[in-house]
Structure 1
Amino acid sequence: MKTLFRLLLGCLVVSSCTCGAQDLRSHMEQMKTAYTASGSIVALDGQTLIIEPNMPGPICALPREEDGTIAWYRYAFPLSSITVPLADVDESLMSEDRVFTNPEAPKAYKPGDKGDAIMVVVVGMPGKKFRALIYDRDKLEHLSPGPHSSSDYGQMQDQVEAFGLTFNDTAAAHAFVTALRNAVTLAKMQAMAR
């Protein structure tokens, strides 16, 4: 009887791991689809993504009311590539903010105006950093048309605790965040089962 129980338990564990892997791939595909207009995503293995945003990424301006006036915070994430081990993502700290990518937005802004893009910020677990390839925005903007080497736009390796991705479509941003949260949860469950 004990042998039969162990066999059934073993089959259940193998079956749940297989289903989890299929669900994880499904969530990765959902992220790829949602991010298509903003860049590309490659699944390096079953637990790691390589995200390559379109370059140059926009400078995102985020208005915040402070002491009765509007303060503007600007964010730029000059990423050409970032490697994201899913288990290193803190799914509880992901955020979505409506931002302005038009440089003239602060001059024309009226309270209640909605930004033209969504900035999704992804944060690593405490003590974890993501490997990234970053570039120099000024060098990239001053390049002539045609092919260039990565050194022409100052690409270099870095490690970051958080990164932002920009979406022009609200539904795509929501779909990406939902799929990423689900994938991170599954990846952490699979890591704990090993």
Structure 2
Amino acid sequence: RKYIADHEGYIRYDHIGEGGYQESEKVIQKLLEERSMALGIQMASTSSLVDIEEFQHTVFRTPELYFGFKFAQNRNQLGSDEGFQPGSIVSYSEPENIVLHKFYPIGNWKNYDDSMELVSEVGSIKLLYNAKEVNIVTENNAELEIFLDGKPLPGEYAGKDIINGNTLKVSEAGLYNIINSDTSSSHVLEINVQGPGFQIFTFTFG
């Protein structure tokens, strides 16, 4: 619960729960104007104090996710029941449910301290995220199929490295942009991989 008081100490706004950012900012702006008039002070600017959309985007955006057990330690980012098994090849099963801000590899993946490598013929990664942009840091040649909310990646969400509809070709080590949208929102991302050897280090978000 939050309260906003005026310059004389009277409660002028009361809000319970999350949200209400736009309304709160309008109240603050109004009270600042009242205070300035009462004290004979000219306000330096009448522009918005806070970019509310950007504030909400930053607060709720999915954080960087690490596939290496060394970097992911104590971050609780891997959602799979099998967990990290340092140096081992782990057979990750299809999750029954997925949780926001956690990733779920499916198939046989070798656990390295800085990454995971697909060792089975096929594999995939599922992720429920909230962001405008999604990138992966990866290496080794691979062709990936990208799906969003169970369907091939729509053109309006396609990142700059997507080709031929929903395909991403990894040809060298680096960062690849797979999702690029105008607004921040939550979606289920699925990356399908054909052939062993694909290695992924990190998800990053914008």
TM-score by length of 1: 0.24
> Which protein has the bigger helix share?
1
TM-score by length of 2: 0.23
Bigger-Rg structure (1/2): 2
> Which protein has the bigger strand share?
2
The structure, 1 or 2, with the larger RCO (C-alpha pairs under 8 Å, 6+ apart) is 1
